[in-house]
Amino acid sequence: MHGKLVKVLLVTSAAATLLAAPAIPASAQTAPTGNAAAAADSPRKTCRAELDKLHHKEGVCFWSGQDFTGTIDAHANPMGTDVCGNITPAKSMVNLTHEERLLYDFDNCDEGNFITEVTPYEARSEFGPGISAESWR
């Protein structure tokens, strides 16, 4: 190893879960393996079942608790990110759409209260310690 630089990448379990989130619909992928992939897949399946009840293929699901616990609230077929929607405070989310979703603390999607974005087909178990979203686009 004389004269060579070796780089090591450390990934936390939370980051590994985010990295494992599919960039394409789950139906177009092979079955996930490992505990992190299985844990992230279950909320996607739960959200899919809720959207199926509403007869929609795309949508988002919010949970009142972190780690996909508590009450689930499904929103079918959201269009674009131009319209703000107020929600019951949520601490985790699954985005089963082709668009990123923006989350805000407090009502009315005020840019000063931006929390995070959730990418297409991502299952986000929390938005930060003790942080709840109350509006989204």
Listed residue (47, 26, 25, 31) closest to 94, CA to CA:
47
Q: How far apart are CA 66 and CA 12, in angstroms?
A: 18
- Between the CA of residue 35 and those of 14, 16, 32, 111, what are the distances in Å? 12, 11, 9, 36
Q: In this predicted structure, what is the pLDDT of residue 125?
A: 96
Query: pLDDT per residue over 95-125, tens digit each?
Result: 999 999 999 999 899 999 999 999 999 999 9
Query: pLDDT per residue over 58-91, tens digit each?
Result: 999 999 999 999 999 999 988 767 789 999 999 9
pTM of the model: 0.70
**15 pLDDT exceeds 70?**
no
* Check whether domain 13-136 has CATH 3.30.420.40, yes or no: no
- Domain extents in the chain: 13-136
